[in-house]
A and B are shown apart, each in its own frame.
Chain A
Amino acid sequence: MRIKTRYPLIVGLVIVFAYFYAQNGIVATSVSFSAIQLALPLALAAMVGVMCERTGIVNIGIEGTMLISAFTAFFLGAIFKDTVLGVLVGIFTGSMMGLLLALMAISWKMDQIIAGVILNILAAGLTSFLYRQNYSIAGTLSPIEIPILSDIPIAGAILSFHGPITYFGIFIVVALWFALYKTSWGLRSRAVGEYPSSADTAGVSVIKLRYLNVTIAGGIGGLAGAYLSLEAVGIFERGFTAGKGFTALAIMIFGRWNPLGAFAAALFFGLAQAVTSQLMIDEVVEIPQQFINILPYVLTIVILAISAGKVRPPAAEGIPYEKEKA
């Protein structure tokens, strides 16, 4: 099932890249670089979803988490003229949002979709309410040149010169994958997401683990928000997450709740967006801009439609855990 999705994806990516490279090496590296830049917030946001859902909690509130974290990251970074502080504040804010979701979903056993919606509305309302003009940060997080990597002919230009959060984000993706599948924490977390009562019997504290994971996941969402306001853009505007938190949900499912799969899906979507822009830059086709702009969405649906196979989320997700009364 997973194999069937990956092959068309990889093949597709290679074909697209080859096409552009044949045209012009500069364009190909430019598009790929752009793809990573566009994919990163989606990838991080998707990690939030993966981490939560694998442990059994549905998190619809990623958009709100990103937005409010971007807000605090920016404004505190501006007030104290310390961008790194801003990033930390962003991560903290995100984890608080995660904690709030955990509280609503786990302890209060509220419907998790509702909990997520509440987070989103609250975040949008608060950031709009509290927004003030005329704040500037000291500077965005500057791109880093990675010494040996940047000398490699093609890959170097694509992979080097990204900002710190980008590299850290990629690290998180790999680390999360490793942790989920190769550590006992990961095993326990997945067990809690699939068979919580069995996990409980085996001595795993379902409640505690869920709280932990959702809070940490929230922190990752906060990092995604900080990325937007402190690395990618450098300002905060109301609502400027522009639906990325929701697209990330789609990407998480596209990636089958697997960190590497979700990352690949995010890259795919980012690449599609970059290619879309490139088509407009090249003015290759004579079709109206609206139709070019829906290319990423169409491609996503087509790939998914072709690579059939049932999507199976973690079995116990969305269901509040009640200890069996003995």
Chain B
Amino acid sequence: MQGYRCQNCHAESITKTTFCPKCQSQSFELFTLPTNGTVYSFTIIRVAPPEYVDFAPYTVALIQLTANLRITAFIQEAVSIGEKVRWKETKNQTFIFEKVV
């Protein structure tokens, strides 16, 4: 997993923008994200969009990966805020995480 860091103001994001929303710079560097993180918040989706019905109920969680960066990830199991999780794989543009056992 890689994130974008603004080389001018050091803002970090998982998504790339044309201009840095904080300082308008166009200089970004790709950096490697840690694979372990903490659950910042989550929800358990029970009524799922058509293409996700087979996975329901499933968890979508915001994972705190660095001090300034969170990403939205799919987790099959239930989690709670503050719990340690780790990257399992990236499939169909989806970050899939799992609990650290």
- Chains A and B form a bound pair: no
Q: A residues engaging B (CB < 8 A)?
A: none
Q: B residues engaging A (CB < 8 A)?
A: none
